[in-house]
Structure 1
């Protein structure tokens, strides 16, 4: 199974369109918030199952604040991250993920990519596919591939 993970598009879909074309076919798209009204467009564009959570700029949105689901035996918890103060660190987010018994927690908000494992939980942030803030300011996204054994492999990629 091939999953495209993005965040913080902020109505700017050009890079997402390019990445979808480059990475197709994908089996699932996960968007970690700040779509700013573009959820329906993203769902139609992806042409696969889509999970989107609301970000701090998704005003008046009916998107969920967070979601939990299982993919190939992996318990995944997704959130934008602002309610867990991720701009100041990941400790609150990790505590929540562990409390939910998540294998993988995904967040956005900071516009900076991050990928590591802590206390048995894989923590990832794909950065921003539209407005990056990390050194070098390259637009980023992640691909998660899950093989037949259920083991996820995650790769940070650049637009």
Structure 2
């Protein structure tokens, strides 16, 4: 199973369209907030399950603030991250994820990609495919692959 993970598109979709073309077939798209009302447009770009949550710039959105679901046997918790002060550190978010029994927690908000693999929790942030803030300032996203045995691997990629 191939899952594309993005965040913080902020109504700009050229790079997302490039990524979708580059990656080819995906089995799921996860958007971690700040789609700014364009979630229907993004959903129309893909022919697969689509998970999207609200971010701090999704004003008046009916999107959920957080979501939990399973990918294979992995319990996934997604949030934009601003309610957990991820700009300061990931510690509150990790504590919440562990309290929920999550195996994988995904967040956005910082516009900087991050990936931490610990024995009991994978924490990831795809950065922003459109407005990167990390050194080098290349748009980023994550491809998650899960095999038939439920083993997952993650790759940070750049536009």
Q: Give the equivalent residue in structure 2 for 1:42.
A: 42
The secondary structure found in structure 1 opposite 2:60 is coil
Deviation at 1:3, TM superposition (A): 0.1
The TM-score normalised by the length of structure 1 is: 0.98
Give the superposition deviation at 1:46.
Answer: 1.4
The list of structure 1 runs, each at least 4 consecutive aligned residues, that deviate by more than 2 angstroms after superposition, is none
Q: Which residue of 2 aligns with 1:101?
A: 101
C-alpha separation in 1, matches of 2:147 and 2:118: 22
The number of residues matched between the two structures is 159
Matching residue of 1:11: 11
TM-score by length of 2: 0.98
1:79 corresponding residue in structure 2: 79
The residue aligned with 1:143 is 143
Q: Which runs of 5+ in 1 are unaligned?
A: none
Which residue number in structure 1 is paired with residue 121 of structure 2?
Answer: 121
Looking at structure 2, the residues matched to 148 and 119 of structure 1 have their Cα atoms a distance apart, in angstroms, of: 20
Structure 2: gaps spanning 5 or more residues: none
Q: CA deviation at 1:123?
A: 0.2
Q: CA deviation at 1:118?
A: 3.5
Which residue pairs with 1:66 in the alignment? 66
Residues of 1 paired with 2:65 and 2:110: CA distance? 16
Distance in 1 between residues matched to 2:124 and 2:77, nearest whole Å: 11
Give the C-alpha shift of residue 119 in structure 1. 5.4
3-state SS, counterpart of residue 88 of structure 1 = coil
- 1:95-122: CA deviations, max 9, x gaps? 0000000000000000000001235100
